[in-house]
Amino acid sequence: MRKSNLLFAVLLSFVIVFQGLAQTREIGNADFLSNLMMNDLFFKPYLENPGKFEIQIIYTQIDRDSSNLPHFTQYNYQVDNKKFFNPASLVKWPLILLGMEKVNNLNPSLGITLYSKVGKEGDYLSPDKTHRLANDIKEMILVSDDRAYNRMYDFLGQEYINKRLAEMGYDSLRVMLRFTSCTREQNRTTPSIYFYDERDSLLYEQPATINPVQLSNPLGTVIKGGKDFSYFNNMSLQDINDLMFFVFFKEAAPLKKRFNLTAQDYELLYKYTAMYPYESEFPLFKSNHRKYPVHLKKYLYYGKNSAKPNLPGLEIHNMVGQSHGTLSDVAYFVHPEAGVEFMLSAVINTCDGPINPANYHYLDRGQPFLEKLGKMIYQYELQRHKN
């Protein structure tokens, strides 16, 4: 496994040392990203068809001063909080953060942690075949596992998820669906959850819940490619960008947008968001490279390349989405030896016509775009003068 101790130390020290020194982001030149892409003919068809590809990009430059305190400048391309895109697996990230926080908010006398057993042994991906929230989190991050997401959804409950995100000011987020076949009524309902110690003694029973309110998309009626997305999960690129950004730069977040996470929570997130499936402790991810290829989730920079990482020292901490022709990636890049550090979030529509798998162009349009975009920004960062 690659050693990331230096990076962990840098990130954790930021969380601890700079408490109270909240940083703000400046908004950079609105034409910066479009001008940068115009310099490469590869991007010409994408730039000439904005309505077809529905691209949105957020690029955040990070400049550190003599005290190692970061300063941020955000550049946007066609970012529109009122424009629907299917977030797909990007919704796993807020549920990961909410799950960690909910465990931390339980009565400490219960003795429950992310590593407590939830239910009995079953058909799980983890090495011990045991359901633990920590395993769900790792599986969602490493291979975007849908069953792990559904289990976290059940632990949190639809009503809790959406009330808490609204309290925190993430106004665009609406999480209404499991990633399995469910009716709207079934998605509003969650079962009882049981926590056990290692001897299978019951620690806590969380009662079943039902959301009394039928939620819908905050954008209203959403019809896209002939499909009704009015009751689908929703988020803006800015909100999911911020949810990732504020994990790595906690002090940049307004107080209301900070999750109650421990240093151990942050370390888990830092470690696994940068990890490749084959580096993990999950035997299945190491052995089944056909199902879990090396670059399963590193769309920005590597696309769908199945080769091993070819840029030693580069850490890409990210979450991705892929569904109904839409591809998205939200990533924090850091390469300490090269002096590179930036955030990059992007979404692109690859569906050419009605919503139908036959019309999706992930491999020939979406993945090449995200790969080229990530490499372009990385190369720009290598030569950019840092303040």
Q: Where are the domains of the chain?
A: 5-383
Residue 312 near residue 327 (C-beta atoms within 8 A) = no
Predicted local confidence at residue 385, as pLDDT: 84
Mean pLDDT in residue range 109-132: 78
Q: Higher model confidence: residue 119 or residue 127?
A: 119
Reported as a pLDDT band with limits 50, 70 and 90, residue 15 is very low
Mean pLDDT in residue range 379-385: 94
Q: Give the three-class secondary structure for 31.
A: coil
Q: Is the pLDDT of residue 123 over 80?
A: no
Residue 319 near residue 141 (C-beta atoms within 8 A) = yes
Q: The whole model's pTM is what? A: 0.92
Q: Give the three-class secondary structure for 302.
A: helix
% the chain with pLDDT above 70: 91
Pairing verdict, β 326-335 and 315-323: antiparallel
Q: Higher model confidence: residue 13 or residue 212?
A: 212
Assign domain 5-383 to its CATH architecture. 3-Layer(aba) Sandwich (3.40)
Q: Is the pLDDT of residue 19 over 90?
A: no
Tally of CB atoms within 10 A around 246: 18
Kindly report, residue by residue over 242-301, the tens digit of the pLDDT: 999 999 999 999 999 999 999 999 999 999 999 998 888 888 888 887 888 777 789 999
Between 16-30, 72-86, 218-232, 233-247, the lowest mean confidence (pLDDT) is in 16-30
Q: Is the pLDDT of residue 27 over 70?
A: yes
Q: Is the pLDDT of residue 3 over 60?
A: no
Q: Higher model confidence: residue 8 or residue 321?
A: 321
% the chain with pLDDT above 90: 77
Residue 123 near residue 137 (C-beta atoms within 8 A) = no
Tally of CB atoms within 10 A around 63: 15
Predicted local confidence at residue 296, as pLDDT: 76
Predicted local confidence at residue 20, as pLDDT: 39
Predicted local confidence at residue 18, as pLDDT: 40
Predicted local confidence at residue 14, as pLDDT: 44
Q: Higher model confidence: residue 4 or residue 110?
A: 110
Q: How many CA atoms lie within 13 A of 376 on its CB side?
A: 20
Kindly report, residue by residue over 191-232, the tens digit of the pLDDT: 999 999 988 899 999 999 999 999 999 999 999 999 999 999
Predicted local confidence at residue 283, as pLDDT: 84
CA angle at 28 for the pair 26 and 29, rounded to the nearest 5°: 155
Predicted local confidence at residue 288, as pLDDT: 82
Predicted local confidence at residue 141, as pLDDT: 97
Q: How many CA atoms lie within 13 A of 165 on its CB side?
A: 28
Reported as a pLDDT band with limits 50, 70 and 90, residue 306 is low
